[in-house]
Amino acid sequence: MGTSANIGLLILRVIVGALFVGHGTQKLLGWFGGHGPEGTGRFMGQLGYRPGRTAAIGAGLTETLGGSLLLLGLVTGLGAAMIIGVMTSATASVHLKKGLWNTGGGFELPLVNAGVAAALALAGPGGSSLDRLIGWRPYGLVLGAIGILLGVGVSLTLEGWRTEQLRRTGELPQDRRRAA
């Protein structure tokens, strides 16, 4: 891999990884204008994740750890899977019904974030990474595909559980009851 590709991967990892660490600590600690586990938990409870506070802590830990792994270039495929999973869940529970474009609250931004994570899962972290420093290659076509499938699979399982919780409590919107 050439120098420019390594620098490009480093830039992607640092920006996306650091932003996800920020997103996670908003949920976990209330940093950067976040609402912490209580406020985020109330929101997640309204979405059907029960208990909401536990879901907020889980999402915050996933974003913080996944972002940290990407930032450092350590076990890159696992970090990517975590980001893909949380973005797929956000898309399913909040953004999908609002269409594509972010201007209307759509899934454009979660899709870009998941796409970057998927690309890193396949391409690897580049030369300036802890994976490279320790001589480990937890990426490539097969491991990258496993990371992508793991992220999507866990998220879709969580979405099915969330939908079932909403169905049991009668909170599932009428149009989704027929489809689900």
* C-alpha distance from residue 125 to each of 1, 20, 97, 149 (Å): 11, 16, 33, 19
pLDDT at 179: 46
pLDDT at 151: 94
Q: Is the pLDDT of residue 178 over 50?
A: no
**3-state SS assignment for residue 160:** helix
Q: Which amino acid is at 3?
A: T
Predicted model pTM: 0.90
Least-confidence region, from 41-45, 81-85, 87-91, 169-173: 169-173
Average pLDDT over residues 33-60: 95
Q: Residue 74 belongs to what H/E stretch? A: none
What's the pLDDT tens digit per position in 135-150?
887 678 888 899 999 9
CA 151 – CA 44 distance, rounded (Å): 19
Read off the pLDDT band of 177 (50, 70, 90): very low
Average pLDDT over residues 7-32: 97
- Tokens representing residue 104 in the block: 């209307």
Read off the pLDDT band of 173 (50, 70, 90): low
Q: What is the mean pLDDT of the chain?
A: 92
